[in-house]
Amino acid sequence: MTGTGLPLDGVRVVEMTHMVMGPTCGMILAQLGAEVIKVEPPAGDKTRSLGGMGTSFFPLFNRGKRSVVLDFAKAEDRETMHRLLASADVFLENFRDGQLEKQGLGTEELRQKHPHLIVAGHKGFLSGPYEHRPALDEVVQMMSGLAAMTGTQERPQRVGSSANDIMGGMFGAISILAALYQKRGGRTDGADIRIGLFENCLFLVAQHMVEYEMTGRKPRSMPEREHAWPIYDIFDTAGGGRIFIGVVTEGHWQSFCREFGLQEFSDDPTLRNTTDRILARARIIPRVAEVIKGWNVTDLSAKLDELNICFSPINRPEDLLGDPHVLRSGGLVQNFNADGAPFRVPALPIEWNGGNIGEGLRVPVLGADTDAVRAELERQNLSSTDNAA
C-alpha cells in the first residue's frame, strides 16, 4: 500500500499484539502512512469482543490496519508468516518472553532469518529482575508511585485512562522511527527494541524522584501538594458549575485583582510577591471563592479569556465531543468500525502541513485481508524468482 503522501509511505509493519500498548504503536505508525498488517489467530484478537470500559479498545487502537488470520498450528501458515516478515520493515509484538519462541518467532530465529527486521517488543518490564513478570497499566502505576502521587499513600488512585499503555506505544513508535532513520543512513541490519511499561511509568514520575534526589524531601501527592501559585484552584460558580483558575504571573495577579474587585489584595503591602501570597492563601482563597460564586461559568470563562488568565471548566470526556475548539480545529475525525458504523475519535495531536491526520480510517474485519496479502506475497515470490533467473 503506497501513495498516501504521508511520511511512512512504503514502510510495512507486521503486528502481533493485543490489548493497548502494542496496538497503540501500530495505530500511530498506520496514521503516519505505514502499511500495518495485523496478524490475528483464527478466533481473532481477544479485545474484539470486550465490553464495558474495554468496548473502545479494538476499534480505537486498530484503525487503519489490515487483518490477516494465520493459524500457527499449520505449517503453511507459519511459512506465510516468515514470508510476510521477509517483506516487512518492522515487526511489533507484545507477548511474554518465551511465548514467540514456541511459534518459531523468537529473537534468535528472527535475527537469523530476517536480519534486516526492526523488532519492537512491548513488554511489562525492561531487562532485569522483573523482566519475567506480566504487567498492567494499574500494576505499574502502583509500583512506580504514580498512583500514590495521583491519590495519596493511604488511598492510591490510578490515572483515569490507559495512560501508560498509550505512552508505551508512543515510545515504541519513537524507537521505530529512530531505527528507520538509522537505516536511511545506510545501515542494513535491523534492531532489537524493548519497550517497558513499568519503565515508561518511571519516566512519568521522574520529576518527583529528582525532586527527592535534589532536596531530600519526599514529594507530596497532588491532593496534599504545596502550592507554587497563590491562586491555582477549583471554584464553585453560580448555577452549580465549577471552574479551575490559575493565576501564575505578576500581570495575571494585578489584572485578576483589578477586574474582580479584589484591590484589597493588590494594595496590601504584605502581599508584594508570589511567596507572600502563597503564605496568605488561607485568607485569599475563601475571598476569591466568594467572588467567583457570583459568576456563571460562561461569563466567567469569557472574562478570564479576555484577561489571558489560565482557566478551564471541569469537563468529562464526553463533553469534548461538543467542544467548539475540538470541533472547529479538526480535533475529531470520523472513522468506521468493522461493521461499517461511523464513530468520531480524536485525531493524532499534531498538524501535518496544516491538516489533521486520521480521517476515514477503518477498523478491519477479522481476516479481511488474508487472501489479498497471500496473493501479494505470491506475486513478490514469483517476481524475485524471475529476477533471479
Q: Region 122-147: what's the mean pLDDT?
A: 94
Percent of the chain with pLDDT over 70: 97
Q: Render pLDDT for 350-369 as a digit per residue (tens, 0 to 9).
A: 988 888 899 999 999 999 99
Q: Region 153-176: what's the mean pLDDT?
A: 94
Are the C-beta atoms of 212 and 219 separated by less than 8 Å? yes
Counted residue by residue, the chain has a size of: 389
- Alpha-carbon gap, residue 151 to 158, rounded angstroms: 8
| Residue reference for cell 480545529 | 329
Q: In what order do the strands lie in the sheet with 310-313?
A: 231-236, 242-247, 310-313
Region 227-316: CATH code: 3.30.1540.10
Q: Which of 43-47, 183-187, 245-249, 344-348 has the lowest mean pLDDT?
A: 183-187
Q: Render pLDDT for 272-297 as a digit per residue (tens, 0 to 9).
A: 999 999 999 999 999 999 999 999 99
Nearest to residue 40, comparing CAs of 76, 81, 4? 81
Q: At residue 4, does pLDDT exceed 70? A: no
Residue 1's pLDDT band, with cuts at 50, 70 and 90, is very low
Q: Render pLDDT for 49-93 as a digit per residue (tens, 0 to 9).
A: 999 989 999 999 999 999 999 999 999 999 999 999 999 999 999
User: pTM, whole model, 2 decimals?
Assistant: 0.90
In the chain, DSSP assigns E strands to 12-16, 35-40, 66-69, 90-93, 118-123, 191-196, 231-236, 242-247, 310-313, 332-336, 342-346
pLDDT at 18: 92
- Alpha-carbon gap, residue 20 to 57, rounded angstroms: 7
Neighbours of 50 (CB within 10 A): 14
Q: At residue 113, does pLDDT exceed 50? A: yes
Spell out the domain ranges in the chain: 12-206+329-388, 227-316
pLDDT at 208: 92
Q: At residue 177, does pLDDT exceed 80? A: yes
pLDDT at 152: 87
Region 12-206+329-388: CATH code: 3.40.50.10540
Q: Render pLDDT for 197-241 as a digit per residue (tens, 0 to 9).
A: 999 999 999 999 999 999 999 988 888 777 778 999 999 999 899
